[in-house]
Amino acid sequence: MASTTSATSTRSADLWADVKPAAARRMLLAAVDAFAAEGYSAATTRDIAERAGMSPAAVYVHYRSKADLLYAISLVGSQSSLDAVTAALEEETDPVQRLRGYVSAFVAWHAHNHTLARVIQYELKALTPEHFDEVDALRRRRAGLLRSELRRGARAGAFQIDDQATTALAILSMGIDVARWYTRSPSPRVLGTRYADLAVRLVGAHG
């Protein structure tokens, strides 16, 4: 079986770098494309093999099933976006700058990885319950980091928030939905900055 080690070190553009060997990595990329184009249910192992330029039998060398591919994709992707926001938070101390960092990273990740993000998002229900729980835990940690920021910023008097839960939800939604509509522009970085400006408004701070 291919190894999909924790992507903690994967903050670069290539979030698949930790997937070894290269054939397994090529398979995952092909599976992302196949699931995005045809939907998880409709995509076949044969489609995926073809997109990867391999024989159908080669898929099974690295992954037991289509379900295993979806699981690996969801895990690598969710870990990568969690890493992106964690790294952004580590760079800042001021509550407003931390919020800006989180939102910029979150939005830029979803723009940059929009095809992958769409597959994870739309096919979550196709995961087995155990795999879902594992992927969902990463997503909850990602959301939990934002809620902590809102709490701390409010406690420090930097944010004026009426409803922390709804505000966190709205900020996450703005970012997650980027994957649905994003194609090529503006650049992930520019979009991230614009959404950071909006998040600052939502928390009643002054950026």
The binding site for a copy of itself (CB under 8 A) comprises 38-42, 121-122, 126, 162-163, 166-167, 169-170, 172-174, 176-178, 180-181, 191, 194-195, 197-198, 201-202, 204
Q: What are phi and psi of 70, to 5 degrees?
A: -60, -40
Q: Which is nearer to a copy of itself, 62 or 112 (CB)?
A: 112
We find the least distance from the C-beta atom of residue 176 to a copy of itself, in angstroms, to be 6
We find the least distance from the C-beta atom of residue 195 to a copy of itself, in angstroms, to be 7
Query: CB of 182 within 8 A of CB of 115?
Result: no
We find the least distance from the C-beta atom of residue 182 to a copy of itself, in angstroms, to be 10
186-to-55, 82, 190 alpha-carbon distances in Å = 38, 23, 6
Q: Which is nearer to a copy of itself, 22 or 162 (CB)?
A: 162
We find the least distance from the C-beta atom of residue 15 to a copy of itself, in angstroms, to be 23
Q: Which is nearer to a copy of itself, 9 or 166 (CB)?
A: 166
Q: Which is nearer to a copy of itself, 7 or 96 (CB)?
A: 96
60-to-1, 26, 27, 95 alpha-carbon distances in Å = 9, 13, 10, 48
We find the least distance from the C-beta atom of residue 8 to a copy of itself, in angstroms, to be 27
Q: Which is nearer to a copy of itself, 54 or 169 (CB)?
A: 169
Query: CB of 188 within 8 A of CB of 107?
Result: yes
Query: CB of 66 within 8 A of CB of 43?
Result: yes
Query: CB of 89 within 8 A of CB of 101?
Result: yes
